[in-house]
Amino acid sequence: MTRTALTRDAILDSAAHLVKQHGPDALTMRKLAAELGTAVTSIYWHVGNRESLLDALVERTVADLGVIRPTGRTPAQRIASVARALRRQLREHPHLVAMVHERGLTERMFLPAQQALVHEVHAAGLRGTHAAEVVRAVQFQVVGFVLVERNRERAPVQQPAEEELWDTETAEDDPGLARALAGPVDQEKLFALSVRALVEALLAR
């Protein structure tokens, strides 16, 4: 059975698959070669070395990110919709943010979202430095939230169990709060709440 000819794109596809599942560290040239059914050194002919392979992978992924279309009626709603869309994009590529940052492509990657935000902030009547601050605050908020989320999801079982930590006087004083903090985080709800609060306050000043 003749295998398909080894191409740069086939290598990138395979690499993307490995990275998406277990992160960039799990991408070894030898595993990649095994998955492709080729000799390790063949990969070098097509993509240079491991680092330029990752470079190419990041560049392709960033280029393939969909555009961001705001929805909603009020500026606050439309800004929140951009935040949600950005979060969804980032969650689909769990390791992309770190890889993009390491390669100095952060600004390029966020440009579509930033432009959408600028548009909505303008629609809300803001201009100049103030508008820029709002755009950046929302961007930091979304990216930060996704990074924390990702860490939490990768994390193993918490140790000690979260309940034990709140088995204190606070638990008696405010059992509802103790229960809420001991339980798991509803990230979806927390994200919506945080974005709404931030945008609301920033547009109001």
Query: C-beta of 9: minimal distance to DNA in Å?
Result: 12
Within 10 Å of residue 81's Cβ, how many Cβ atoms?
A: 18
Contact between 99 and 54 under an 8 Å Cβ cutoff? The reply is: yes
Report d(CA 46, CA 168) in Å as an integer: 60
Q: Which of 9, 21, 22, 28 binds DNA (CB under 7 A)?
A: 28
Contact between 150 and 94 under an 8 Å Cβ cutoff? The reply is: yes
Amino acid identity at 146 = V
Query: C-beta of 173: minimal distance to a copy of itself in Å?
Result: 8
Q: 156: cis peptide before it, omega within 30°?
A: no
Q: 160: cis peptide before it, omega within 30°?
A: yes
Q: Which residues contact 113 (CB under 8 A, 6 or more apart)?
A: 68, 82, 85, 86, 139
Could you give the 3-state DSSP secondary structure of residue 65?
A: coil
Please tell me whether residue 69 binds a copy of itself under the rule CB under 8 A: no
Query: C-beta of 90: minimal distance to a copy of itself in Å?
Result: 12
Binding region for a copy of itself (CB under 8 A) out of 13-21, 70-78, 85-93, 120-128: 120-128
Binding region for DNA (CB under 7 A) out of 39-47, 85-93, 109-117, 151-159: 39-47
Query: C-beta of 44: minimal distance to DNA in Å?
Result: 4
Please tell me whether residue 123 binds a copy of itself under the rule CB under 8 A: no
Please tell me whether residue 18 binds DNA under the rule CB under 7 A: no
Instruction: List contacts with a copy of itself (CB under 8 A).
Output: 97-98, 101-108, 111, 114-115, 118, 122, 127-129, 131-133, 135-137, 140-141, 143-148, 151-152, 154-160, 162, 165, 170, 173-174, 176-177, 180-181, 185, 190, 193-194, 196-198, 200-202, 205
